[in-house]
A = this chain, B = another copy of it.
């Protein structure tokens, strides 16, 4: 850690004592606190940050498990350092993916051996997870898995728990959405019919926002709103607090949509389950639907399908594709202004820390057309902080940005016409040979993904090695995936696609119109972090042949920000890689230069940074 940065550790002793009293009252021996909300959201509203409240660990992924005498927090490689810094001595850290380290499920099951009960808020765990856990609990001779209607952490939190947000919705016009709600609904109903369903429960917030062409502001950085939807061949019910909806929105949705209160879905599903008990059609759910939603329905009447809305949403229509391209150019212009400005102020000795620098980046973004907000908290990290993969600088305590230290900036924004996400790693002084070598190895992997050509039907799973191959040859690697799907004015992390080693990525082929990030990295603990991230669009590639009439796909890079010249060791690049880099830089220059007509300094900076290697 750099000087001036303090570790923020929460004392959780009192909270745990209170929680354990409640566990005893409710006959719960092992209590699970997942990081997700009732919609399996990755990013959550402050009201739902129960796992952070009880454990003190504020990273976006992880699960806490508490017994009468122990407490464990399981998280993945992105967060090992952060968790070590944030957890107090009440907690045992379970480093996911390391050999011999149990998953939170295994840890909980071990603690429950000998007839002990495991409790969990049934809204915060999926039916499939609950079923699997209950079965294992039985095999291990544990007690019951109790799916609770109330949340014990909420009771401990009490009055200090933030309010559930109630912001007004906004309609996303056809000029941005590109496809009407009616057309989307018709397609989803075809999916319901194809899957022999009598209805589909939709609980993922971005799926609901996409389907209804509505956006909200209930979760920071994610333009979604708390709601459920239930779609049948004849009905479309949106469960949402009515005071979030204006008359205009209600009119816009038309007569096909029924609005009901947020929590009314539980009774509706129960009633629906009873009515359709004799039908040969099934209630369709996806793997993210909570146990609480399906508990009331006979298991044999439920069919879990691959999320049809997630699949449809992942393939952007022409309007969305064009919006993504344009918003990434505007976003690139803001980053170029920022990185050029940062060089100037650092060179003249001005003092900026990670937060005050990032504030300037936000200013540049705010000036751009269609800007709504950031798409995630900016990871502005200097020197060794860059090695904390999902580092979030805090005002007053964060490190200074310095001329002679690597600076990693992972940032993105929400525009009405698109969501952006990119990372640049910069050096404004004289990087060491080691830093240049590491940067160039990461860049070679980035270019290998950007240039990849693969037959239709290929998944992101098989592309992962392209990003890592050069690092591996040097005995290096990084402990995160290489790419995630990106929404269009929606969540910056979006399923079902990804580039990485998760098996689920191998189940979904990349389709033309999908956007995905390309972000290899390398992290030298205690020294620096490197990540190079662009958003790319899956596109058909013209190949000299078309063996097997398969069609061949590749990527079109839409992020428009130069790589860091000072960090590139050009002797490590082959001709194809240099060609890609020079063509990319030329495109960045051409597409963004018009933003700097009245800003000779930035234009000159851009010209220098995009000149051929």
Do residues A476 and B545 form an inter-chain contact, with CB atoms below 8 A?
A: yes
Asked, given contacts A452-B469, A462-B465, whether A474 binds B545 with beta carbons under 8 Å apart, the answer is yes
Enumerate chain B residues within 8 angstroms of A473, measured Cβ to Cβ.
453, 543
Binds B, one of A44-52, A218-226, A414-422, A547-555: A547-555
A472 to B550, CA, bound (A): 11
Asked, given contacts A455-B477, A465-B466, A466-B465, whether A472 binds B552 with beta carbons under 8 Å apart, the answer is yes
Enumerate chain B residues within 8 angstroms of A471, measured Cβ to Cβ.
547
Cβ of A463 within 8 Å of any chain B Cβ, yes or no, is yes
Cβ of A574 within 8 Å of any chain B Cβ, yes or no, is yes
A149 shortest CB reach to chain B, Å: 36
List which A470-488 residues lie within 8 A (CB) of chain B: 471-477, 479
A469 to B474, CA, bound (A): 21
Enumerate chain B residues within 8 angstroms of A454, measured Cβ to Cβ.
465, 472
Do residues A466 and B469 form an inter-chain contact, with CB atoms below 8 A?
A: yes
A452 to B466, CA, bound (A): 11
A474 to B503, CA, bound (A): 28
Asked, given contacts A463-B465, A464-B462, A465-B465, whether A475 binds B545 with beta carbons under 8 Å apart, the answer is yes
Q: Closest B-chain residue to A448, C-beta based?
A: B469
Do residues B544 and A475 form an inter-chain contact, with CB atoms below 8 A?
A: yes
Enumerate chain B residues within 8 angstroms of A300, measured Cβ to Cβ.
none
Cβ of A546 within 8 Å of any chain B Cβ, yes or no, is yes
List which A530-583 residues lie within 8 A (CB) of chain B: 543-548, 550, 552, 574-575
Per-residue CB proximity of A443-460 to B under 8 Å, as 1/0?
Answer: 000000000111100000
Enumerate chain B residues within 8 angstroms of A547, measured Cβ to Cβ.
471, 475-477
Q: Closest B-chain residue to A503, C-beta based?
A: B506
Which of A462, A479, A503, A506 counts the most chain B CB atoms within 10 A? Answer: A462
Enumerate chain B residues within 8 angstroms of A464, measured Cβ to Cβ.
462
Q: Closest B-chain residue to A475, C-beta based?
A: B543
Do residues A475 and B552 form an inter-chain contact, with CB atoms below 8 A?
A: yes
Do residues B472 and A455 form an inter-chain contact, with CB atoms below 8 A?
A: yes
Enumerate chain B residues within 8 angstroms of A476, measured Cβ to Cβ.
545, 547
Do residues B472 and A453 form an inter-chain contact, with CB atoms below 8 A?
A: yes
Quick one: copies of this chain in the complex? Answer: 2
A465 to B466, CA, bound (A): 8
Q: Closest B-chain residue to A461, C-beta based?
A: B462
Which of A464, A466, A543, A550 counts the most chain B CB atoms within 10 A? Answer: A543
A469 to B506, CA, bound (A): 17
A85 to B503, CA, bound (A): 39
Enumerate chain B residues within 8 angstroms of A544, measured Cβ to Cβ.
474-475
Enumerate chain B residues within 8 angstroms of A475, measured Cβ to Cβ.
453, 543-547, 552
A476 to B506, CA, bound (A): 22
Q: Closest B-chain residue to A473, C-beta based?
A: B453
Enumerate chain B residues within 8 angstroms of A469, measured Cβ to Cβ.
452-453, 466
A546 to B477, CA, bound (A): 9
Enumerate chain B residues within 8 angstroms of A548, measured Cβ to Cβ.
477, 479
Do residues A543 and B474 form an inter-chain contact, with CB atoms below 8 A?
A: yes
Q: Closest B-chain residue to A479, C-beta based?
A: B548
A98 shortest CB reach to chain B, Å: 9
A500 shortest CB reach to chain B, Å: 11
Enumerate chain B residues within 8 angstroms of A465, measured Cβ to Cβ.
454, 462-463, 465-466
A510 shortest CB reach to chain B, Å: 13
Enumerate chain B residues within 8 angstroms of A452, measured Cβ to Cβ.
469
Enumerate chain B residues within 8 angstroms of A453, measured Cβ to Cβ.
469, 472-473, 475
Enumerate chain B residues within 8 angstroms of A501, measured Cβ to Cβ.
462
Q: Closest B-chain residue to A501, C-beta based?
A: B462
Q: Closest B-chain residue to A542, C-beta based?
A: B475
A543 shortest CB reach to chain B, Å: 3
Which of A452, A453, A474, A475 counts the most chain B CB atoms within 10 A? Answer: A475
A479 to B561, CA, bound (A): 40
List which A492-531 residues lie within 8 A (CB) of chain B: 501, 503, 506
A550 to B472, CA, bound (A): 11
Per-residue CB proximity of A224-253 to B under 8 Å, as 1/0?
Answer: 000000000000000000000000000000
A455 to B452, CA, bound (A): 22
Do residues B466 and A550 form an inter-chain contact, with CB atoms below 8 A?
A: no
Enumerate chain B residues within 8 angstroms of A506, measured Cβ to Cβ.
503, 506
A144 to B454, CA, bound (A): 44
Per-residue CB proximity of A256-289 to B under 8 Å, as 1/0?
Answer: 0000000000000000000000000000000000
**22 contacts across the A-B interface (CB closer than 8 A):** A452-B469, A453-B472, A453-B473, A454-B472, A455-B477, A462-B464, A462-B465, A463-B465, A471-B547, A472-B552, A474-B543, A475-B543, A475-B544, A475-B545, A475-B546, A475-B547, A476-B545, A476-B547, A477-B547, A479-B548, A503-B506, A506-B506
- Additional pairs, 19, CB under 8 Å, beyond known A479-B548, A506-B506: A453-B469, A453-B473, A454-B465, A454-B472, A455-B477, A462-B465, A462-B501, A463-B465, A471-B547, A472-B543, A472-B552, A473-B543, A474-B545, A475-B545, A476-B545, A476-B547, A477-B548, A503-B506, A574-B575
Q: Give the 3 A-B residue pairs with the shortest CB-CB distance, closest first.
A: A475-B543, A475-B545, A453-B473
